[in-house]
Structure 1
């Protein structure tokens, strides 16, 4: 990477103070997992994480420009990035150009607008909603907002409590929140709503309660603990040592970390022969899932088109595995979501690159070939590492590109109540942008889910 690029980042980092780094971290929460940001104390480490996430790089400084503009460091914008306030304002008016969400901009602007007395008043009113140690005198308003998000008190589509707080403290800020909500409604009215809600024919069902009633039923119920099994079939060591899948242990650890956090009963089986893969999946389909909400299965191995290989080189049809969980074969999961995530190739063809963006260093390998379709049954979702006929990639050191991206996105977006299909779409976007040893990778989602699948984050 260009020496001038690192010099540029160094000089910008030297000019930033602690409060500004905190602001940059807050504004980047849609792009970098909160847990990763929490450990960062100084700007150089922040810029390193942005590089890891491909948010900045040589010839790719738009996100950095936007961040500096948002925190009003126009001096740095002009001196190091050759831009101005007016140019940024014009640029960010282009639809889809802004990478910092309107929601996060709103919270940041509110925090900047508050006096110390206002912050003290907000903390006082939040005493019954947040732990006392999160409302200490030295806690900034951005830290308070973050705690409110973690505890589900505020969300991008629900700022009711925030408005109630400011109604008595700062009515002008309450009006700003109202204006934000109106703008969001206008944007949705210009487009098709992603998750349309049926309109009730009963006037008494209109209003907040009616809206909640209409939304109910369009999200799968997630009320049990554990929510269900997360079954991981992870083939690492094969009878032919040349087929060993280095890096797959990191994938297993990442999945276990995420799904234990989400309160799933997580079980990992290593190095299964083909027959044993099928027997294990069938065994879990015969279990009693009546007190569970969901079933999740990860499969990491080699294979052929439509098949997964055991460590003995014997294959099992992926459709046979998925069919174990149809309503007929697994009645205790009927009407509940069944999720299969498959890290594997679907052929031997390489995607040609369209743009050049660096991926993590380290040797990359390719995996197996999963199915091209799923049984025509409801409530099943399959996320595949790549589309038909193409390779998917796995690093010896860090694990597979697809699984690591999925786990990071889940950690970032599950607390925001983003449904799994939308998270997988974000993963598609991230993986597709990367260059992998001169090739590209395009994951695929196949779904017969009938509702949104939102994983509840334990409080």
Structure 2
């Protein structure tokens, strides 16, 4: 990190007070887990966490600028970041530019608009739904909102109780929430008009898949050609030759064969350094996906907990990669499925005496799992080669157990119109029941899909 960049963050942190830090943490909840934020008590530590998640860095300070703009510290924007209120207002009018969600903005603005008396009324009305210990005299409105989220009282698509609370004494705030909900409905309505996905458009659906479609109500549209990008990041040759991943070329070939068959625009990038992994994923998040149905990304490399390693052994946070494709950051994929499949080794230990080598080191940490914030974002499906504390395996000759099983099952089940989550579940069972030289492997699925994801097979 450059001295100038560190100095800038230091000067900004010195100018922030406790309430402003709380506001910054609240506005960043879509990117940093609540548990992590609770351990932060001063701005410098907060900025360090944002750097670890690649949210701010030298040459890329937009998220910091937006945060300062949201909390109305225009003086810091001008003095340290060379920006202004007018510039930020122009920037944030660009579709997809804002990184703080409309939902977080709404709650923060409501909290700022409430008087001390209003806050006490809200706390009184919440006695019962919330524990009395969570409604102490000194609890701020942002803290109350967090407790309401934790208890499932409010969420991005359900603010009914909050509207009921404000109806009695702050009808203006109730109208503000109504306007937010109407804007959200209009956005979804536009997506539905542009991309009809009702089950009725698939008259050929019969049997188990048809029943599943009826149960879930809708299927993601999969009618464009190409359906979308299939991005493959495949790290084979590392700068440290002892870390080379033999067998990963077979995985790349298997995935390319399947997704070209499924009419995806498939591209493979080999042997990327850590920063290049992030830059490549970000490049695809900025593409125009309006005429695409879906986005798929495979990443094959070594990894650590929550991270993927580049061939230079520099790590990239998985959360930072996946978050590039939220509806806010990639609006042309809003309402469309985003699939990430990650086969990542845990360390540099290799086992040359056996045909199947471990993608994990002896201390059995988690391979590389997505952040707990990911399930809060709709339309994502993340497949991991392994769960916590388990190894994943790769044959030097035939590729990884997980990826090869996935490709084999897609070839046989996609023509039967089996949805991807079901295919991944079958892969989980198939891999888990294998005896791999006396060892076991258990893959993991994390899904916030709202519809069935069925890949159309060309006739």
The TM-score range, normalised by the shorter chain, is: 0.5 to 0.7
Residue 421, structure 1, aligned to residue 381, structure 2 = yes
Q: Distance in 2 between matches of 1:10 and 1:172?
A: 39
Residue matched to 1:384: 341
Matches within 5 A, 1:13-412: 13-192=13-192, 198=198, 217=216, 303=247, 349-351=270-272, 353=276, 355=279, 364=313, 384-385=341-342, 407-409=369-371, 411-412=372-373
Q: Give the C-alpha shift of residue 385 in structure 1.
A: 2.2
Deviation for aligned residue 1:215: 9.9
Q: Secondary structure at the match of 2:153?
A: coil
Partner of 2:216, secondary structure, is coil
State the TM-score, normalized to the length of structure 2. 0.53
Q: Does the Cα contact within 8 Å between 1:363 and 1:396 map onto a contact in 2?
A: no
Give 1:74 deviation, angstroms: 0.3
Instruction: Output the CA distance in 1 between the equivalents of 2:45 and 2:314.
Output: 29
| 1:69/1:88 contact within 8 Å kept | yes
Q: Indicate if the aligned counterparts of 2:25 and 2:37 stay in contact, CA closer than 8 A.
A: yes
Q: Distance in 1 between matches of 2:177 and 2:158?
A: 11
**What TM-score do the two structures reach when normalised by structure 1?**
0.53
8 Å contact 2:308–2:368 — kept in the other structure? no
Tell me how far 1:449 sits from its aligned partner.
2.7
Alpha-carbon RMSD across the aligned residues, in angstroms, is: 4.6
Instruction: Give unpaired runs (5+ residues) of structure 1.
Output: 201-213, 220-241, 246-300, 308-316, 319-346, 367-380, 387-391, 425-442
Shift of 1:395: 5.6
Give CA-to-partner distance per residue, 1:284-322, whole Å, 9 cap, x none: xxxxxxxxxxxxxxxxx9755668xxxxxxxxx99xxxx
Contact 2:340 2:383 (C-alpha < 8 Å) held by counterparts: no
Distance 1:383 1:173, change over 3 A: closer
Cα 1:186–1:365, aligned 2, differ >3 Å: closer, same or farther?
closer
1:164–1:35 Cα change, 3 Å: same
Seen in structure 2, the aligned counterparts of structure 1 residues 176 and 348 have a Cα distance that, compared at 3 Å, is closer
State the match for 2:420 in structure 1.
Answer: 448
In the alignment, is the contact (CA less than 8 A) between 2:10 and 2:44 conserved in 1?
yes
Residue 217 of structure 1 and its aligned partner are, at CA, apart by 3.5
What is the count of residue pairs matched by the alignment? Answer: 289
Q: 1:385 to 1:165 in 2, by over 3 A?
A: same
Change (3 A) 1:385 1:24: same
User: Following the alignment from structure 1 to structure 2, what is the Cα–Cα distance between the partners of residues 14 and 58?
Assistant: 19
1:38-79 CA-to-partner distances (Å, cap 9, x unmatched) read: 100100000000000000010010000000000000000000
Task: Sort the Cα spacing of 1:422 and 1:90 in 2 relative to 1 into closer, same or farther, 3 A.
Answer: farther
Q: CA deviation at 1:396?
A: 6.4
2:205 aligned partner: none
Structure-1 separation of matches of 2:193 and 2:134: 36
Post-superposition CA distance 1:239-285 (Å, at most 9, x none): xxx9899xxxxxxxxxxxxxxxxxxxxxxxxxxxxxxxxxxxxxxxx
Alignment check: 8 A CA contact 2:21 2:42 kept: yes
Q: Secondary structure at the match of 1:65?
A: helix
Runs of 5+ unmatched residues, structure 2: 201-212, 219-240, 256-267, 283-306, 316-337, 350-359, 385-402, 411-418, 424-445, 450-459
